[in-house]
Amino acid sequence: QKEVEQNSGPLSVPEGAIASLNCTYSDRGSQSFFWYRQYSGKSPELIMSIYSNGDKEDGRFTAQLNKASQYVSLLIRDSQPSDSATYLCALNPSSYKLIFGSGTRLLVRP
Amino acid sequence: ETGVTQTPRHLVMGMTNKKSLKCEQHLGHNAMYWYKQSAKKPLELMFVYNFKEQTENNSVPSRFSPECPNSSHLFLHLHTLQPEDSALYLCASSQEAAGETQYFGPGTRLLVL
């Protein structure tokens, strides 16, 4: 089992819809969780971090963490074509480094 | 522009060349990282430096040689690379190497001929 699993996509949603991106992980000791966005040919940029169970909202983005079920998700409300990118889930599996998933490609159709 | 800069942004080199990638962070962080990102593969951690000391070498071939002269600068020296080393090389930094938020530079797109 991979340490961090994401559906590669593409996930296609119409403009204005809610995009839901999911990530599961194997190490129950993971404490820190991150969502990064990466446009084609660019470097990853941090969207959100989450450390506690529950929801964390920042503008159109909501991160959800459920440690018991070992998943973290990212919801994007009112999706825009500019949100089209690859979204990387990353976590800290009880060590000093981050482990990244392979990413989910999101396509927002105008 | 982010607080992490990388030069050059693009590099083409032959298998017998020697080149260096440079990374500089202006965030006052103490940890710096090198990652490799190949097409359709997850980010691969290569090296971690925490307070100028190397704390992780993720089974990287010796043709990649890192150098961290201080907490703000990180180099990756390249020699006798192979075509499969062609990739995007990303530098990142964080406050400390403790699973904290990492901030990435723009990357160096490397092509080995």
Nearest 5°: phi and psi at A59?
65, -125
DSSP state letter for B21: E
- pLDDT at B89 > cutoff 90: yes
Rounded Cα distance between A49 and A59, Å, is 14
Model pLDDT, residue B99: 67
Contact call for residues A24 and A70 (beta carbons, < 8 A): yes
Query: What number is the average pLDDT over the span B39-53?
Result: 87
- pLDDT at B1 > cutoff 60: no
Q: What is the mean pLDDT of chain A?
A: 93
- For residue A18, the distance in angstroms to the closest alpha carbon of chain B comes to 25
- pLDDT at A70 > cutoff 70: yes
How do residues A8-57 score in pLDDT, each as one tens digit? 889 999 999 999 999 999 988 888 899 999 999 899 999 999 999 999 99
- For residue B104, the distance in angstroms to the closest alpha carbon of chain A comes to 6
Chain B neighbors of A92, CB-CB under 8 A: 98-99
Contact at CB, B106 and A32, closer than 8 angstroms:
no
Model pLDDT, residue A106: 97
Nearest residue to A13 via CA among A78, A87, A107: A107
Nearest residue to B74 via CA among B44, B94, B101: B94
- For residue A71, the distance in angstroms to the closest alpha carbon of chain B comes to 18
Rounded Cα distance between B2 and A23, Å, is 27
Model pLDDT, residue A95: 64
Contact at CB, A45 and B107, closer than 8 angstroms:
no
pLDDT band at residue A3 using 50, 70 and 90 as cut-offs? confident
Chain A neighbors of B100, CB-CB under 8 A: 32
- Rounded to 5°, the CA angle B105-A73-B50 comes to 35
- pLDDT at B13 > cutoff 70: yes
Give the helix/strand (H/E) hosting A28.
none
